[in-house]
């Protein structure tokens, strides 16, 4: 029974070590953070510019017959 526990513990430690050495997960997390920041910046820009764009479109619409 002790050998089985030792084998399972060694297997788990090796698996955790292999996961720590892999960098794909970290890269995907970094891409996710960059995507979130870009998304927030685009939403902020659209929100800030929405009034000006609406006013410009209304002025053009009023000029046209």
Per residue in 2-57, pLDDT (tens digit) is: 777 677 778 777 777 766 666 666 678 888 899 999 999 999 999 999 999 899 99
Single pTM value for the model = 0.49
Count of CA atoms in the C-beta half-sphere (13 A) of 56: 5
- pLDDT score at 1: 67
- Annotate 15-45 with b (16+ C-beta within 10 A) or e (fewer): eeeeeeeeeeeeeeeeeeeeeeeeeeeeeee
- pLDDT score at 62: 92
User: Which CA distances in Å does 29 have to 3, 20, 62?
Assistant: 38, 14, 48
């Amino acid at each position: 029974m002790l050998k089985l526990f030792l084998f399972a513990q060694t297997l788990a430690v090796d698996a955790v070590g292999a996961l720590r050495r892999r960098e794909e997960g970290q890269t995907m997390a970094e891409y996710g953070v960059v995507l979130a920041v870009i998304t927030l910046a685009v939403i902020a820009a659209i929100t800030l510019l929405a009034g000006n764009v609406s006013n410009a479109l209304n002025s053009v619409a009023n000029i046209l017959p």
